[in-house]
Amino acid sequence: MKKIIVFILGAIFMNAGYSQKGPSFSTNDYVLALKHATDVMVTDVTSPVAASRYYGYINLAAIETAALFDHLQPHFAGILKGLNNIVVDDSLIKKSDPELAVILVLYRSATRLLPSGYLLKNNSDSLKLIAKKRKISIEKINATAELVDKVVVQVLAYAYADGFVKLSGLRKYTPLAGDAYWQPTAPGFISAIEPRWNTLRTFILDSCSQFTSGAPNKYSTDTNSLFYKELKEVYDLGKNLSKEQSDIAMYWDCNPFALQQVGHLEYGVKKISPGGHWMGITGICCKMKKLNLSKTAYVHALVSIGIADAFISCWNNKYKFNRVRPETAIKKILDRSWTPLLQTPPFPEYTSGHSVISSTAAAILTQLFGDNFSFNDDTEVEFGLPIRNFNSFSSASNEASISRLYGGIHFRDAIENGVKQGEQIGKFVITHISDYRLAVEKGKTNFSEQIKK
């Protein structure tokens, strides 16, 4: 099975492209467009789970657009739950520019999906000027814009059916009473983030509870209990962090909105989400491999869809087990004055979100790029953090996971079981897509024609 998976997924890296001469837009344009969408999410203080949803649909729009122009291009219609083929007249496809369409659909889907998506209008409009400079006729530009609008309408219809629009109408969440359960923490004492996220339709997973990771260590003040030992580990480590451990924790913080207090003044520090960080890594690797635009869209879509499902799975665990955060328990049991290096996020502890989604992303990227793919991660440079080098995706994922222990916001079992949960999700995503395409090659549909050798 492993050889089959490598062959099928590896097909996207072989020499294939659009039929026209010379691409009008490239992977660099794709990565830049997605970065502009990320910037808007930072402005909006988009939660980690919401960001993962947006990335999923934005990248999905791009790959489904690419597939309109190349019937051999792997895409996700017929694979994802409830996603049918995107329908656009052949005559309009022939009049449009394929690369411009892929970039433009990123902007226009993000414009429609994101709360402050209007901030992308100038970027979207400027593509016309760029397209003209790249010798694309005004007739082709206008046709491409018309095609993109038709795609966006269909992708958004798919997105709006996932249950997200119903979340705001659900009953307000009230934290459970008792020392074992999650409670809001200082400095903002923010209400629980997205407690009903597990009600959303998954993209590929059978359900939100398909991978549960098992129960956490039971809350206990007994000094011989597993919970107490892990609590003491967080406490002791937090008081004796090395510089390297502190640097790792800060690098993978990825807190979209941390409140900083200076005297009586509080202000918010905005950063990318964990999913945004892995989208950044994905873009770095696509540029390093010099993938063409359609392959770049495919890789981003696969990784972002895996991350989106991983968040749904993780959030199901968080509110199922509802475990207390280290900060709350340590102040209750050990030391009222203790504070973690990182600001405690406003949702339950188990399992660790960064551990789950990082392991998911790493599993998918490893399958696509290989076990020993070395890269320089500069995703956090704009937030004042240095470039870090990793010799594999698993090394980056493992560092992201353990950073939560160094930061004082997770217990070890939430991290280790979160890694297992994420690895299971990543492998399921890869296998599900590969098994589907293998079945296709046996004659169930003609989808196999979309895989270029």
What tokens does 360 get?
């998911």
* 250 belongs to a structural domain: yes
Q: How far is CA 141 from CA 106, 118, 232, 297, 358, in A?
A: 16, 21, 62, 20, 38
Q: pLDDT tens for residues 310-328?
A: 999 999 999 999 999 999 9
Based on the domain organization, do 133 and 216 belong to the same domain? Answer: no
Q: pLDDT tens for residues 12-70?
A: 454 333 334 567 899 999 999 999 999 999 999 999 999 999 999 999 999 999 999 99
What tokens does 49 get?
């789970």
Based on the domain organization, do 332 and 212 belong to the same domain? Answer: yes
Q: Looking at the whole model, is its pTM more than 0.85?
A: yes
* 106 belongs to a structural domain: yes
Based on the domain organization, do 202 and 160 belong to the same domain? Answer: no
Domain containing residue 277 = 185-442
| Average pLDDT score, the chain | 91
Which residue in the block uniquely carries the two structure tokens 């083929």? 85
Based on the domain organization, do 161 and 197 belong to the same domain? Answer: no
* 448 belongs to a structural domain: no
> In CATH, what number is assigned to the domain containing residue 430?
1.10.606.20
Based on the domain organization, do 410 and 261 belong to the same domain? Answer: yes
Q: pLDDT tens for residues 236-292?
A: 999 999 999 999 999 999 988 766 655 555 556 778 999 999 999 999 999 999 999
Based on the domain organization, do 92 and 194 belong to the same domain? Answer: no
* 174 belongs to a structural domain: no
What tokens does 128 get?
């016309």
* Residue that terminates a domain, selected from 131, 165, 199: 165
In contact, 220 and 228? CB cutoff 8 Å: yes
Which residue in the block uniquely carries the two structure tokens 């399921």? 428
Report residue 384: phi and psi, to 5°. 85, 15
* 223 belongs to a structural domain: yes
Q: How many domains does the chain have?
A: 2
First-to-last alpha carbon distance for the chain, in angstroms, is 18
Based on the domain organization, do 85 and 190 belong to the same domain? Answer: no
Residue 104, SS3?
helix
* 66 belongs to a structural domain: yes
Among 121-130, 254-263, 278-287, 337-346, where is mean pLDDT lowest? 254-263
Based on the domain organization, do 229 and 373 belong to the same domain? Answer: yes
* 419 belongs to a structural domain: yes
* 381 belongs to a structural domain: yes
* Greatest distance between any 2 Cα atoms in the chain: 74
Question: Quick check: 408 pLDDT over 50?
Answer: yes
In contact, 162 and 196? CB cutoff 8 Å: no
In contact, 162 and 201? CB cutoff 8 Å: yes
The strand ranges marked E within 218-325 are: 257-262, 265-270
Which residue in the block uniquely carries the two structure tokens 């004055």? 337
Based on the domain organization, do 217 and 339 belong to the same domain? Answer: yes
Based on the domain organization, do 32 and 100 belong to the same domain? Answer: yes
